[in-house]
Structure 1
C-alpha cells in the first residue's frame, strides 16, 4: 500500500540513501525490495510534482534492484515521463514492460494526445486493439483528442463506431470527446445528433456543444443552446460563460452579451477573472471599448490573455496610442512577457493608425528582444501597414522573404494597398496569387476592377467583370444591420422592403441637401463610366449603411449613439458622407465593418481617414 506522510518521515533517511547519485549507490541487493511501498510513495509524489530529475534517479535505482519492469512501478514511471513530456523515455519503458494493461496504454495515449505527435496516439490505440484489449471511457476521450488536433474525421468516425459497439458512446466524457472531435472537424451536425441522443447531459457536455457552435461560426445557435441549458436548471461553469460570452462577441450581439453579464454576476461569478476577461473582449468587439477598460482595471490578476484582449480591443477601434501605452505598461509595470498574440494586437494598432516607424520597430523587436518568430498574422499586419503607406515594393519584397507560404490574407493586404495607391501591375500579381488560393472569391476581382476604374482603364475593368460572369462569381451583397429596441433591422443596397422605406429615403434626401450645402461631393469613381451621373449618385446614396443610419435617426431620440454593422468594408464615399452626417445631426455614429470600427463624431472619424 501507499505509505502515509508520517510513515514517510520515518523512512526519509533510508529513502535519501536510496536516492543518492547512481554512481555512489551500492550494488543491487534483494533486500531493497522491502522498500517497495516506499518506492511507490516516492513515485506518486514525483508524478504529482512533475519531478523528472529525482524520478530518473529512482528509475535507475529500480533497474539496479531488478524492479525496473515491475508493472505497477513501471506504470508510475511511464506516467511521470508522459506528464513531463519526456515521451521517448515513456515509450522506451512502455515497450519493455511485459504485462501491459489498459491503464498503462491509456497513460501513453494521453501523453501523445496532449503533447504530440498526435499520430502516435492514434497508432497506439490501434496497437492496443491488436493486442486484444478493448478501450474504456478514458481511452476514447484521449484518442479522440488526437483526432481533433489532426482534424482526422475518418479515424474519428471509426473510433465512434467502436464506442457504440462497446456502449461507451453514451458516457458523458466519451460523448464530450466525440462532440469536440466532430466540432474540430467542422461537422457540427454530427455533434448535435450525438448531443440530442444523450439521455443524461451534464455541464461538460453542454459546454462541448455550445463550444462546437461557437467554433464553427454559429454564435446564434450557441446562445440559444445556452438559454436551453439555463431553462433545464443547470448552473453554468466558468468555461460555459467564457464560451457563450465569446459567442456574443462573434455575433456582435451586445444586448445578449449584457444579459449574460448580468446573469453571470447573479450566479456569483463577479470575481472570476476569466469571465471578466471574456466580457471585456466582448464589449471591445461590440463597440464599448471604454466599458472594456473598466472591466480590465477590475481584474484581480491581469494575465497575458487579459492584456492581449484589451490591446486588441484598442487596435480594432483605431486607438493606437492607448494600445501602445498599454503594451509598455504591460512590460514595465506588470513585468509580463508578451506573446505572439500580443504582437498581433500591437502591429494591428500600428497598421490601423499608419504608424510605420513604430510598426517596423515592434516587428524587429518581436524576434530580437523576445525570441518570438513572426507568424503569417504578423506578416499580414506589416504588409497592410506598408501597403497603406504606399511602400508597395517594400511590401512585395517582404512577402518574398517570408519563411512560410503567404496566405490569402497577405496577398489581400497587398491588393488593398494597390487599390489605395493605384498600382495596377502589382495589383494584377496579387490577384493572380489570390485566384490560386481563393478561386471562388469574387471580392478579389472586384478590387482589381476598381483599380482599373481608378486608372480609367475601362476595358480592363469590363474584362475582369466579364471573367467573373464566366466563372459564375457574384459580388458579395452588401448588408448592414442596426438594432432598435432589441430588434434587428437589415438593409441591402437600394433596399425598398422596409415598412418605413418612404420615411428612410425622405431622411436621406433631407440629409443630402444639407451635406451638399456643407461641401459634400459624391465620389462615384468606382462606378462604371457608362452609367449616368444621376444613376451613379443614386447608387451610392442608397448604400446599405446609409439606409441603416437614416432609419436609426428617425427611430431614436436625438442624443442616441447609433451602432451599425456591415458585412463588407465601408466604401470611400460612404465614409466621407457619414462624417458630414455626424456633424449635421450632432450624433456619434459607430460603424463596424469587416475590418474594424469607425467612430464618427463632429465631422471626424476615429480612423483619421486611414483604413
Structure 2
C-alpha cells in the first residue's frame, strides 16, 4: 500500500469512527459536509453509513437518505438493499416496492421478504419466496427469519427441514434463527441433533459465537427443566470440549433461580474447566462449592482440577493440591497424575510418597511393585552448594 493509499484509508476509518458518535440529524449533516469536503462522497462504505443512520437511528430521516441516495451515480446492490431495508424498518413497504421495481436487475427479493417480515406481512413475504425460481441460502434465511419475527416458530422449523432436504447447507445465520425456533417451541431433540452434528462435523460453524449463544439460549429456554436436565446439558457440553458454553449454561441456571446446584453440577463444571483449560475458574468453582453451597468436594472433583493443572503444565501446583486436599489420594488422582507426564519416573515416586504420607501402606506397596516392574528408580538426592561468607 502506497503512502497515499494508506493516508486515504486512515482518513476513511476516521470518518467511519465519527459516524458512530452521531446522535442527531444535525450532527449527521455536519458529518456529511465533512464527507463531501474530504472527497469521500462517492465512497460506498462511507455514504452507506449516512443512509444507515437515517434508517436505523431513532433520530433518522429517510427523506434525507433518499436525497443522498439520488446523488450516487451507480448505486450497487449494497446501496439498494440498504434503502429497501430502511423503508422496511420505517414501515414504508410501498416505497420499498417502488425501489425494488426500478433497481437495475439486482436480486433484492430477500430484502423485500425481510421488509415484509418486519411489518409482519408474512403472507406477502411467503408469496415472494415461492415466486423465486431457484431459492438460494439467502432467500431461505430471509423467509425463516420472517416467520421467527412473526412468532411462527413451527413454520420456521418446518422451513429449515425443507431447506436441508433440498440439499442446502445452513450457515450461521440459518442456525441462529432455527435454534431460536427450537427453544421457542420446545423442540429439544431437534435442537440437540443440530448441536450434535456441529460437534461431529468439526465445522467452523460450531466455533461461531452467535451459534454458540443460540445453543445456550435454546437449552436454557426449554420449559420443564429440572436439576437433572441442567446437569446433563453442562456435562454434555463439557465432554465435547465446550467449556465456556457449559459455564454459560450454569450461569443461566443460577439466573433463573429454579434449581440449586449439587455435587454432580460442579463435577460437570470442573470437567468443563479441565477441557477448556480454565484454571482460575476451576479454583473458583471449588470455592463456590464449599462457601456458597456447603458442598464438600470429593476425590472426583479434585481429580478434575489435578487433570486441569497437569494439562496446563502446572505440575507443582497439581502436587501441592494433592498433598493438601482434605480427602485421601486414590486411584482416580493417581491416574490423573501419571497421565500428566507418564515418561517421568519422578511422578511414580511422587505417587508412592503420597500414599505413604496418608498412611495408605497397602497402596504404597502396590506402587513400589509397579515401579520395580517398570524399572523406575528413585532419583538420586541432589547436592546443594551454599556459599558461606
Normalization by structure 2: what TM-score? Answer: 0.54
Alignment check: 8 A CA contact 2:55 2:90 kept: no
1:395-430 CA deviation, whole Å, 9 max, x = no partner?
Answer: xxxxxxxxxxxxxxxxxxxxxxxxxxxxxxxxxxxx
**Structure 1: distance between partners of 2:66 and 2:218:** 43
Match of 1:108 in 2: 50
Alignment check: 8 A CA contact 2:157 2:181 kept: yes
2:67 pairs with one of 127, 152, 170: 127
Match of 1:248 in 2: 182
How is 1:308-347 mapped onto 2 (pairs within 5 angstroms)?
Answer: 310-316=250-256, 318-319=258-259
Alignment check: 8 A CA contact 2:172 2:208 kept: no
How is 1:185-334 mapped onto 2 (pairs within 5 angstroms)?
Answer: 185-269=119-203, 271-272=206-207, 274=209, 275-286=211-222, 287=225, 288-294=229-235, 297=238, 302=244, 310-316=250-256, 318-319=258-259
Match status 1:93 vs 2:34: yes
**Structure 2: distance between partners of 1:101 and 1:182:** 30
* Gap change, CA 1:257 and 1:42, over 3 Å in 2: same
Normalization by structure 1: what TM-score? Answer: 0.36
1:94-128 CA deviation, whole Å, 9 max, x = no partner?
Answer: 355789548364342135546x34623x2333213
- Measure how far apart 1:316 and its partner are: 4.2
Match of 1:40 in 2: 5
1:165-204 CA deviation, whole Å, 9 max, x = no partner?
Answer: 3245x51xx3333222222222222222222222343323
Match of 2:327 in 1: none
- Provide structure 2 residue ranges, at least 5 long, that are not aligned to the other structure: 274-278, 282-389
**Structure 2: distance between partners of 1:192 and 1:245:** 21
2:96 pairs with one of 159, 167, 180: 159
* Gap change, CA 1:99 and 1:44, over 3 Å in 2: closer
* Count of aligned residue pairs for this structure pair: 255
* Gap change, CA 1:110 and 1:273, over 3 Å in 2: closer
**Structure 2: distance between partners of 1:253 and 1:317:** 23
Match of 1:440 in 2: none
**Structure 2: distance between partners of 1:321 and 1:216:** 36
**Structure 1: distance between partners of 2:133 and 2:72:** 31
Alignment check: 8 A CA contact 2:55 2:86 kept: yes
- Measure how far apart 1:46 and its partner are: 5.7
**Structure 2: distance between partners of 1:200 and 1:189:** 19
* Gap change, CA 1:161 and 1:112, over 3 Å in 2: closer
Name the one with the larger helix percent.
2
- Measure how far apart 1:294 and its partner are: 2.8
**Structure 2: distance between partners of 1:166 and 1:145:** 14
| Aligned alpha-carbon RMSD (Å) | 3.8
SS in 1 for 2:77: coil
